[in-house]
Amino acid sequence: MTLDETLQAAFAAAFPGEDFSGVRVLPATDPKFGDYQCNDALKLAKKMKTNPREVAAKVVAALDRAAFEKVEIAGPGFLNLTVSAAWLNAQLATLSAQPRCGIPPRGAGKTVVIDYSSPNAAKQMHIGHIRSTVIGCALDRIFRALGYTVVADNHLGDWGTQFGILIKGYRDCLTDEERANLTVATLEKCYVLSAAKAKEPDGVWKDACRAELVKLQQGDAENLALWKRFIDISIGEFERMYRKLGVKFDTYRGESYYNAMMPGVVEKLRRMGLAEESEGALIVNLDAEKLGVAIVRKSDGGYNYTTSDLACVESRVADYHPERIIYVTDDRQQLHFRQFFSIAAKMGHTVKLVHVPFGLMSYQGKAISTREGNLIKLDDLLREAVRRSLAIVAPRGGDEQLAEQIGIGAVKYADLSHDPATAIDFNWDKALALEGNSGPYLQYAYARVCSLMEKAGEGGTDGGSGAPEPLPKDGLFRVATPSEKRLALQLLEFPGAVVRAAEAYKPSVLADYLFQTAQLYSSFYQNSPILKSEPAVRAARLRLCALFGDILKTGLNLLGIETPNHI
């Protein structure tokens, strides 16, 4: 029985006939109050309009005390709970015997589509793309760990007026050699040249771009083939970045995939009486919800972002039957998502639609902008991360592979340790610090557990080639000292932290948990001799270390961060 269930049973016995499934036991806010607390007596008393301390007393009288060393009623009616060592040891044993460190299979049988990264084609990825990619990837891994079937979908920006400009530029701004060895960098250059010419006052170039676009839209074979080539080259380049970042998509259905479905969507909106004509355009009026007006067909007959996302929902529902769809984009797109979620609901879609907006990222204290010239390419950022990490690990004998694991991990953690909703600043010193809340600090904590295990001769590592051997799984847990107990209680919270991270769509919840856990481990480690203790204590403490190691590794991997055995 879980502590929640134990308390629920006590409430039910004391007050028969009520529903107590919502009763919860929470970690104590301060260890001096005990290990856990339950605040539900207060809530119940409020509802019953009676004295909360009396309610609490009745619950305590009915409580099965097996798990507890001490139960106290505090203040206006809080229940402060101190668990027994026997209970704690048994819980640790149960947790360490569970697969995936006890992450519950909450999502079994459910599908979730996660739409993330989604850069625009024919441009190199830059530092601004990191947040969607890294946050989306962590959510992807967290939901998979919870048993969901995840469809990781890269909703590429692969359609629109820029392709007219690109095709014209490809034909008339590039050399034969550039055309033969086309890269994303060349496409970018070609776009800049062509877009500049499209601004010339005579409008000739601009008209030519538009003519190429119209040909493409009408399915002209040559233009379609060119467009396809641009997309393939872009995806090839993006995948090179994704490989570095350990990100993998199940599909790359870009905006163009939904083109053919857009007239149908608009027709449906019209039939349902949701869309109306306005100055030649077709709009959905969302004034009643204070969301303004969404254009679903422009006056020139073209469709837009809203229409494409509506078609996309329909298609995803038909193909994957998802329970929810999660979109990870920057917070400037909030209005777009609110509008289109509202329209989708009016159209009868019941799938849960979730926007995970993230704040802007600045770089070393400066806003990132094309004009400032600090629109750093993602490739360069990752290269720099590896270069700086190599400088740290090389003196200790670390190689390029280790530098990659640390550098990329540091970049990811610098993002994931912040609530996605906040704006963040990327700073090299902070990201790569070996002390403090950083990726390298947590990786280092893991490596230290590995070397401890190695010294203890109980599994550990195979000597650094990468494949970890199983950490010890036997020996009894014997939690005794305060620092041991605090670590133990914290380790038991791991499955809950993963669930909370998913429920809030915030990998930062898990990152916070891991950082706190590593700090508690470090104070346990400083206070408790391990290898030199007498055999039973030694074995018990090693097991606690092993469980910490397992949890840290599992948790970091959920954030997409690798865990080398040696640093």
Please report, as ranges, the residues that interact with ligand ARG according to CB under 6 A.
Answer: 115, 118-120, 155, 157, 309, 312, 327, 329
Helix (H) or strand (E) holding 38, with range, is strand 36-38
Residue 156 Cβ, how far from ligand ARG at the closest point, in Å? 7
Residue 267 Cβ, how far from ligand ARG at the closest point, in Å? 21
Q: What string of H, E and C letters represents the secondary structure of 369-389?
A: CCCCCCCCEHHHHHHHHHHHH
Structure tokens that stand for 353 in this block:
């639609």
Residue 129 Cβ, how far from ligand ARG at the closest point, in Å? 8
Alpha-carbon torsion (288, 292, 294, 300), positive or negative: positive
Q: Is 150 helix (H, G, I), strand (E, B) or coil?
A: strand
For ligand ARG, the closer of residues 44 and 356 by Cβ is 356
Rounded to whole angstroms, the Cα distance separating 92 from 82 reads 16
For ligand ARG, the closer of residues 115 and 314 by Cβ is 115
Residue 430 Cβ, how far from ligand ARG at the closest point, in Å? 27
For ligand ARG, the closer of residues 339 and 565 by Cβ is 339
Residue 456 Cβ, how far from ligand ARG at the closest point, in Å? 49
For ligand ARG, the closer of residues 337 and 513 by Cβ is 337
Rounded to whole angstroms, the Cα distance separating 58 from 60 reads 5
Structure tokens that stand for 250 in this block:
């199940």
For ligand ARG, the closer of residues 254 and 407 by Cβ is 254
CA angle centred on 108, ends 104 and 110, rounded to 5°: 130
Residue 351 Cβ, how far from ligand ARG at the closest point, in Å? 13
For ligand ARG, the closer of residues 173 and 294 by Cβ is 294
Rounded to whole angstroms, the Cα distance separating 92 from 549 reads 14
Q: Is 296 helix (H, G, I), strand (E, B) or coil?
A: strand
Residue 118 Cβ, how far from ligand ARG at the closest point, in Å? 4
For ligand ARG, the closer of residues 10 and 326 by Cβ is 326
Residue 305 Cβ, how far from ligand ARG at the closest point, in Å? 7
Distances (CA, A) of 339 to 101, 215, 297, 344, 367: 40, 31, 15, 9, 28
- φ/ψ region of 117 (left if φ > 0, alpha if ψ in -120 to 50, else beta) reads left
For ligand ARG, the closer of residues 259 and 528 by Cβ is 259
Residue 273 Cβ, how far from ligand ARG at the closest point, in Å? 26
Residue 19 CB neighbours (<10 A): 9
- Give me the DSSP letters along 319-379: HH--SEEEEEEEGGGHHHHHHHHHHHHHTT--SEEEEEEE--EEETTEE--TTTT---BHH
Residue 285 Cβ, how far from ligand ARG at the closest point, in Å? 22
For ligand ARG, the closer of residues 60 and 235 by Cβ is 235
For ligand ARG, the closer of residues 309 and 550 by Cβ is 309
Distances (CA, A) of 282 to 277, 296, 298, 492: 5, 6, 7, 55
Residue 449 Cβ, how far from ligand ARG at the closest point, in Å? 39
- φ/ψ region of 297 (left if φ > 0, alpha if ψ in -120 to 50, else beta) reads beta
The residue to which tokens 């891991």 are assigned: 514
According to DSSP, the β-strands at 26-27 and 293-297 are unpaired
Residue 371 Cβ, how far from ligand ARG at the closest point, in Å? 19
Residue 337 Cβ, how far from ligand ARG at the closest point, in Å? 8
Residue 421, C-beta contacts closer than 8 angstroms, at least 6 positions apart:
331, 357, 358, 359
For ligand ARG, the closer of residues 252 and 426 by Cβ is 252
Identity of residue 471: L
For ligand ARG, the closer of residues 315 and 522 by Cβ is 315
CA angle centred on 324, ends 322 and 325, rounded to 5°: 95
For ligand ARG, the closer of residues 102 and 157 by Cβ is 157
Rounded to whole angstroms, the Cα distance separating 237 from 328 reads 21
Residue 397 CB neighbours (<10 A): 10
Alpha-carbon torsion (121, 124, 128, 129), positive or negative: positive
Helix (H) or strand (E) holding 503, with range, is helix 494-504
Q: Is 493 helix (H, G, I), strand (E, B) or coil?
A: coil
Residue 120 Cβ, how far from ligand ARG at the closest point, in Å? 5
Identity of residue 59: V
Rounded to whole angstroms, the Cα distance separating 69 from 47 reads 30
For ligand ARG, the closer of residues 147 and 160 by Cβ is 160
For ligand ARG, the closer of residues 227 and 327 by Cβ is 327
Residue 34 CB neighbours (<10 A): 21
Helix (H) or strand (E) holding 316, with range, is helix 305-320
Residue 278 Cβ, how far from ligand ARG at the closest point, in Å? 23
